[in-house]
Chains A and B, each alone.
Chain A
Amino acid sequence: MHDAPRPVPFRGGGFRPQRLRGVGVAVFVVLILLIEWGTRAGWISSLTLPRPSDVVATLVQLWKSGLFFQHVTPSLTRLAVGSAMGVLAGVAVGVMIGLFSLARAGLVPLVAALFPIPKIALLPLFVIWFGIDEGSKYALIALGTFTPTVVATFGAVDNVDRTLVRMGQSFGLRWWSIVRKIVLPGALPGILSGLRISLSIGIILLVAAEMLGAQYGIGAYILEAGSLYDLERLFAGVVILSSLGVLVSWLIAQLEKRLLIWRS
């Protein structure tokens, strides 16, 4: 007894993330519209959430009054200087740990001990060490970005294809050439993905530092708004921070696109 021929059922789909444009934006828009509707209709009280349109108005006013840059410029400077110091030192130490057994044996436990310390707890100490001004803020951000960069970097160096290093040695390349032309480019993808985490931590610490003692800066702005329970300004500050996060992530994506075209 034969059945009629029927097509083989397809069962190979899924498990393959696809690039969908616009969905991310749509989620934001829907969420904001929902809140706007809720605050206008009254089922979200004005003590719970501010009206999104009011937050936008606050941002526009902030921009017009010139206060926007008065707050954002020092914040960006602190983030840039602090994370540049932390990331550069972190990459250097991470590469050393990756290359030298002595550095690995000596520094990995130290980094493991530093990593979980909430750096904000050290701010009073940093104020004494580096001064109440910018120095302590730089130090806080630098230390916060340093440890994740070290961990990401030495992991990346460890993951460099050993056969490529072998190849370099078999052709008699100098040690420094192997490091510069094989190990560092090979570790770059891992270092860049570590950078995403480091810089996000940098932004968090930036706000923390500014909340604990700064006249200007996004953190100071948010703290002031919070103590006055001025929800519109509080959320305007939060929007600026989120945008900063998105901007940083976009910059790293651009960097990856340029530096890692060789990846398949």
Chain B
Amino acid sequence: MAHPTILGAGMDLKIEQLSHSYDTVNVLSDISLQVPSGQIMCVVGPSGCGKSTLLRMIGGLERPSAGQVLQSGDVPPDCLNPLTFVFQDFALLPWRSVAGNIELVLEDHPLDGAARAARVADVLARTNLSDFAKALPRQLSGGMKQRVAIARAMAVHPAVMLMDEPLSALDAQTRELLIDDLVGLWMRAPFTAVYVTHNLAEAVRLGHQIVVLSRRPGRVREVMHLSTPLDQRSMADPGLQAAQERLWALMRDEALAADKELAHA
């Protein structure tokens, strides 16, 4: 079966001087970034630094107070939803089966039944979920649920995947397995993604560039580029360990200060 060339057929995202505040609290301050197509950009930062807010703004779910997010280049021709989210808590409909959850996001589009079924079968096969098509979410483990959510995101052939701490609700072993899955998916068909996480190990395993945000109001502290191919990155790699340590050194004081801050009432 010929894989449709999903993802990353050439849409770039550009974030220009984006700032945001809720009432009087500044959440994000003057963020400018570029997401080149076919690459994964990881965003790390201490909790409450506004990284999830930034992601929602990139995906058009929230409006920034200032600045803008620009998309340029072509969206792949069979793309149904250019900017597609993968959520931390999976956001699966509990009353729909695995296949039904994937069909949900195709139903509003003019696809005939055969094309829809082909897309569902394709993404289920790519995420090794074919045997679970009829299962209900409550029967699945957390890792399986997130695989379904990733399959659902891929079914619309997005131009950019926006992943909001997709592995944070999973235990460490499952997380490792899913990192391998994501690397495998990217190697077979490189996709563009913005990947928000607080886990530095995930960031150095998956990121082509890693953006470090400061504590609130979130600013870009540093952008780190990693050139090691994704499939050659292992936990034992000294280069990656050095990178992770450097990230931690950048974040440590911020995290410490963020931890001591009172929640804004």
Contact = CB atoms under 8 A, between A and B. Distances in A.
Interface of A: 161, 163-164, 166-167, 169-174, 177, 181-182, 185, 261-264
Contacts of A174: 108
Contacts of B96: 262
A163 B87 contact: yes
A263 B137 CA distance: 10
A172 B93 contact: no
24 contacts: A161-B91, A163-B89, A166-B61, A166-B91, A167-B91, A169-B61, A170-B59, A170-B81, A170-B83, A170-B84, A171-B81, A171-B104, A171-B156, A172-B80, A172-B81, A173-B104, A177-B108, A182-B93, A185-B93, A185-B95, A262-B138, A263-B94, A264-B94, A264-B138
B186 interface: no
Nearest to B89: A163
A163 B93 CA distance: 10
Contacts of B89: 163
B138 A172 contact: no
Given A171-B104, A174-B108, 13 more contacts: A163-B89, A164-B91, A166-B61, A166-B87, A167-B85, A170-B59, A170-B61, A171-B84, A185-B95, A262-B96, A262-B136, A262-B137, A264-B94
Interface in B192-213: none
A174 B89 CA distance: 22
Contacts of B259: none
B85 A262 contact: no
B177 interface: no
A172 B108 contact: yes
A262 B105 CA distance: 19
Most chain B CB neighbours (cut-off 10 Å) among A161, A170, A261, A262: A170
Prevailing SS type, chain B contact patch: loop
Contacts of A161: 91
Interface string B67-93: 000000000000011011101010101
A191 to B, nearest CB: 14
A174 B85 CA distance: 17
Interface residues of B, number: 22
A257 to B, nearest CB: 14
B107 interface: yes
Interface of B: 59, 61, 80-81, 83-85, 87, 89, 91, 93-96, 104-105, 107-108, 136-138, 156
B149 to A, nearest CB: 9
A262 B91 contact: no
A173 B91 contact: no
Most chain B CB neighbours (cut-off 10 Å) among A164, A171, A177, A181: A171
A184 to B, nearest CB: 10
Contacts of B80: 172
Nearest to A176: B108
B138 A177 contact: no
Contacts of A166: 61, 87, 91
A263 B84 CA distance: 27
A171 B155 CA distance: 11
Contacts of A261: 136
A221 B259 CA distance: 71
